[in-house]
Amino acid sequence: MRDGRIDVGLVLLEPTLDEASLLAAVGDAAKPLVHNGFYRSYLLPKTTVNGRDFRPSAYFKDGQLASVHLTYADPQAEGGSAWENFSFERERAIARDDARWLANALTGIGSLTDAYTFKWGHIWSGFDERSGFSSIVVSYDHAHG
């Protein structure tokens, strides 16, 4: 992940990936989330990254991969609504676990830093009050990559 690349099984998500290549690689397994002009996003199948289960989503701007969101594949939400077992406390606990996982994946040390910056972009991990969910967001800065 330090190089901006995330292997999600069916495709390698990386700064140079374009929307057409993603769709060619995963086909109908990519479920459209948002299609609004130049902005498009897709939910990808559940996958395991470095030992943690996620539901990844890929966000494109003008056909170029702009960000990847890794949302913990909570076993308590499987087969039902994510809101059935929702609590702010549980989501904040997931955010803390995400931060530890991310720190281990990037540095081998499980600190609770929630943001990392690289030449290709940055990674943020935390709880978003507006969406009600925690996630890890990998954002690509194409001006430098």
Decide if 101 contacts 94 (C-beta within 8 A).
no
Residue-range domain boundaries for the chain:
6-140
Rounded to 5°, angle at Cα 134 from 12 and 9: 20
Instruction: Work out the mean pLDDT of the chain and round it to a whole number.
Output: 88
As beta bridge partners, residue 135 has: 126
Element (H, E) at 42: strand 39-43
> What tens digit of pLDDT does each residue of 125-145 get?
998 888 888 999 999 997 544
Average the pLDDT over 10-25 and give the result.
Answer: 96
As beta bridge partners, residue 68 has: 58, 138
> What tens digit of pLDDT does each residue of 61-76 get?
999 999 999 999 977 6
pLDDT of residue 86: 76
pLDDT of residue 74: 77
Nearest to 138 by CA among 22, 33, 14: 14
